[in-house]
Structures are given as structure tokens and as C-alpha cells.
Amino acid sequence: MTSIQQHNKHPHDYLWWKHGVIYQIYPRSFYDANDDGIGDLPGIIKKFDYLIDLGIDAIWLSPINTSPMYDCGYDVSDYYSIDPIFGTLKDFKELLAIAHSNNIHIIMDMVLNHTSQLHPWFVESSSSRYNMKNDWYIWHDGFNGKPPNNWKSAYLSSAWEKNEMRRQYYLHSFLKEQPDLNWHNQQVKHAMFDMMQYWLDLGVDGFRFDVINYCYKDKNLRNNPFSFKPFNDQIEKYNKNGLESYILVQEIRKLIDKYDNRMTVGEVFSYPPGNPALSASYLCKGKGLHLAFDFSLLYQPFDSHKIYRCIKNWYNHIPEHCWPCNVLSNHDQQRYADKFSQEDNDSIKRLMALLLLTLWGTPFIYYGEEIGMKNTSIPLHKIVDPAGKRFWPIYKGRDCARTPMQWSDEANAGFSHTMCWLPIDSNYRTINVKHQLKDRYSLLNYYKDLIRLRKNHYALTHGSWEPLIKGKNGIIAYIRKADSETLCMLLNFNDHATHIHHHYEAQWKVLFSTHRSRFEHFADLRIDCYPFEATILQKIGDL
């Protein structure tokens, strides 16, 4: 049978970014400590006991640098400061200290492709054609009063904006308020590396790089080829994934490796989303990013065959001596808990959680996922996300997955004592942390148990991955094996009981299950699975 081996089996080390669990926090929505309706760093500090109790190893913070917030912080105007809506640099240092004292690591979101139009660099660059930063961004005269080429922004309009002071066009791959930096300029590269070194010296444990594959564009600004794909009539050949991008991530890796136990994870964006070959290429065979996101799994229906095929395809692209990561939701995607229409939704959440936390690779949990938060329906007049405003009603934006954390059944879900920056789903009265902490069998306690189990079983963090049942008849089954421990994961995607008979000469006992007692035993994997059952079996003798 096919077996994908883990490449760092001995010695028995535990790398936090490789074997631990990473939790993504969208700071605007985690907890509001100063009652302005927006989450902040003091709010994260105040709720830190919750994070410790959850059992995570690291926190990825969506952008907290100073920003005019045209795109919720992904338009940075000062890379060296913390935006006042989130707190101060002192607050950030306090968060770092508390996290490190509890053996939890902090990952900052880093936007390298573009800045805010209000960044002093762009203010100077746009002031004239003759200044010290005149080519820190991508400028061009255009042709006959038209943009330089056919490149489109993520908002499907021209990626070029006319600047009247310079009487030139500048490139913006996203909003016009987010001008793209010219990474071919060595001064830009040095400035960005100095900035990253500043945060590393401060004690940050790693970076999540936003759209890292966009940094280098074709120097000659050639037109992209035509495409017949819906919603995008061009193949994005020249406006991203330049060969220099691979050199860039390797240079970043050299900087990171000067520090002890740090990491990088990259968003390698493609259209349509989910391109495992592209994402894995930025690992550069172990010399580039430590981790890269592949979003294929986020776009799969609740179908065992398609989900298995997606996982296997991702693993097949991971180079030797490299490591995958796995994710179900994030701030740019709809929450997975709301994707499936089956009535027994709670069982499905548990099944998908067990899948995420037992696969080979580093699991990322999006805040609120552990309590089953759903996408919130938000009316147009309350949408903040520029994509939601631009494409309404065809696409209603990303705000539905960014709503405030539901802490309790109190007003505003216990997130704030005032009007929140986004509406809170009315289900907060039943889906909240306070309620689930009291229920031993809640989804939250299920996540905590799973994370604890993962930490206590070497096969789940370091073991090989061997598929047994490849999505056939609604079943996915795989083995995780390390040293003398063998575990088998059984997942029934069917809404009905399903018999499994897979010849594997061994005696098994239930280690963890959504449906079963831990005292049950089986031989040769002869099992009648309950609807939406997810179970971990341990080979008897591997104790």
C-alpha cells in the first residue's frame, strides 16, 4: 500500500510549527477589551487562559500593523507599529511574553506584495517622477491614454490606476488603495528584510506571508494570455509567480534560519483557488517556505471520494523532506461548518475535526471553528469587506466568516459591551463558549480532547500516513504509524450505517470516537460504522 513517510522520525523532537496545532485569530473579532466594538490585543490577553486550555501551540494573528483599513489591515501604512484600534506596541510585547511563558508561539501576518497608498513610501513615490523612491512601486506611462497592459486586479477591473501628480499609472493587484511594491528594486527588498528582522529580534516566532507569489511581476509588463475561464478572461501568467519569487522565499528562509525555532507559512494564491502543485513549489524542496497553504480541501463538497482524492493529490506534491499543512476555514473563505446541508450537522463537524487533527501535517484551526460557528448573513449596508461591496449580490463577501467570537449568551455574544463592528449571528444564544464549556460532550470539549490526544500519540504528530480505504462507498480510512504505535482512522461520510470489512491482520481497540465506547475491540477491521462516525483505533500491543 502507498505510504507517505514523515521525514523527521528520529530523534523524538517536537517542532511547534510541524507537530503542534496552530490557531488563527482575526484580531478584530476575538475579544473587545476597550468596548469600541472592535477586538484588540488586550482582548486576546484577557482570553489567553481559554487558548491555553484549548491546547494550541501557536497563534497566527491576522494583520495588526498600522493601516487605514481599506482592506481590514492588509493595506499597511507603517510596518513598525501596531494600529491603535488593536492597542500599542507595549500590548504586543505583553502578548508575546504571556504566550512564550506558556510555550505558545506568535505568528504575524506579513504583507510584502503591496502597501497602503498612505504609506510614506508611496506618498513620496507618487509626489513626482524625480524623488528618492520614484521606482519603489510599479509605474508606467501607459499607451495612448490607456493602461500599460491587460492585467486585472482581484476585483476583475484593471490593475492600473492613473496618478495625476506623476501623470502615470501605478499597479495594484488588489484595491487601488493597495499599490504594489517594485521588488525588482533592491532598496525595496532591503527595507522589507530590515522590517522582518525587526520583528524577529522582538521575539516573533514566524510569519504568515500574504499572497507571497505576487511579489515579482514580469519586468516587460507583457499582456496575460486570453482565457475562457468564467469570471476571469485571462491566464495570470505575467502578473505573479515570477521566477524571482522562488529566490525570494529562499532568501527569506536564510534570514529566518539565523534565528532559533522560527517558521514561515505562505498564502500562494491562484485562480481558481486550490493548486497543490503551485503551493508545494514554494517549499523549494526544503529551502523555501516551511509551510504553504493549499486551499483545495476548502472547496470540496462533503464527499468521501473527492475529499480523499484532494488530500492524496496534496500529499503527492509535497517534496521529500518537506511538510504539509491542512486547513478547513480561514478569514477569506466561508466557514466549513456551514457548507453541509445534512441535518446531523454536529456529527459532521466532529468528523471533519477528527480528519483535520489526524492527517499528516500541521493543522490550522480558525477561531470559532472549535465551537461550530457558522457563516453569518450580513445585509449590504453593514458589509465592511470591499469584495462583498464590489460583487454584491453574486458574492456577498468574506465578512460572513469574520464575525465576532461567540463567548456567551449575553448581549453581543459577550464579545463587547457596545455595538460590534460586524453583526453577530443570532445563534450565539446556543453556540457559544460558555455554554459548551459546561457540556462535557460539546464540540469545544471534543476539540480539546482531540488536541490532547494528538499531543499524547507520537503516531499522530510524527507518523507515516498510509491510506486503507480511499473514499470508496463513503468511507475514508488511513493508518498513522510511528515506532511501535499504529493507529487507524475510520471516517464514515454516509448518513446511514455502513459495514467495513478490510483485511488488516491485527486486533484493535477504540482509542477515541464520536460514537463508540473505548472498551470496544475489533479484529481485522470488521466494523459496522454509525452514520457520520469518526473513530480512532489503536492496534492492540502498541501500548
Tell me whether residue 94 is exposed, middle or buried, using C-beta atoms within 10 angstroms of its C-beta: 0 to 12, 13 to 18, 19 or more.
Answer: middle
Q: Residue 413 has which C-alpha cell?
A: 455574544
Q: Which residues pair with 24 in a beta bridge?
A: 60, 366
- For 116, what's the count of Cα atoms within 13 Å in the CB-facing half-sphere? 19
Q: What is the DSSP string of 19-70?
A: HS-EEEE-GGGT--SSSSSS--HHHHHHTHHHHHHHT-SEEEEPP-EE---T
CA 252, distance to chain mean position in Å, is 20
Query: Of 32, 57, 109, 267, which one is the catalytic site residue?
Result: 267
The answer to whether residue 410 is catalytic is no
C-beta contacts of 120-124 below 8 A and 24+ residues apart: 120/77, 120/78, 121/181, 121/191, 122/179
- Is 107 within 8 Å of 207 (Cβ atoms)? yes
Within 294-443, strands assigned E span: 325-327, 362-366
The amino acid at 316: N
Provide φ and ψ at 163, rounded to 5°: -110, 120
The answer to whether 236 and 272 have CB atoms below 8 angstroms apart is no
Three cell numbers, residue 539:
492496534
Q: Active-site residue 267, yes or no?
A: yes
Catalytic pick from 210, 236, 425, 533?
Answer: 210
Q: Give φ, ψ of 478 to 5 degrees.
A: -150, 160
The distance from CA 63 to its chain's CA centroid, rounded to whole angstroms, is: 13
Helix (H) or strand (E) holding 467: strand 464-470
- Which residues are registered as beta bridge partners of 536? 489, 512
Q: Say if residues 35 and 415 touch (Cβ distance below 8 Å).
A: no
Q: Report the alpha-carbon distance of residue 448 to residue 436 in Å, rounded.
A: 11
Task: Report the number of secondary-structure helices (H) and strands (E) in the chain.
Answer: 14, 21
| Residues 338, 375 contacting (CB under 8 angstroms) | yes
CA distance 105 to 45: 14
Which class for 20: exposed (0-12), middle (13-18), buried (19 or more C-beta within 10 A)? Answer: buried
* Catalytic site positions: 210, 267
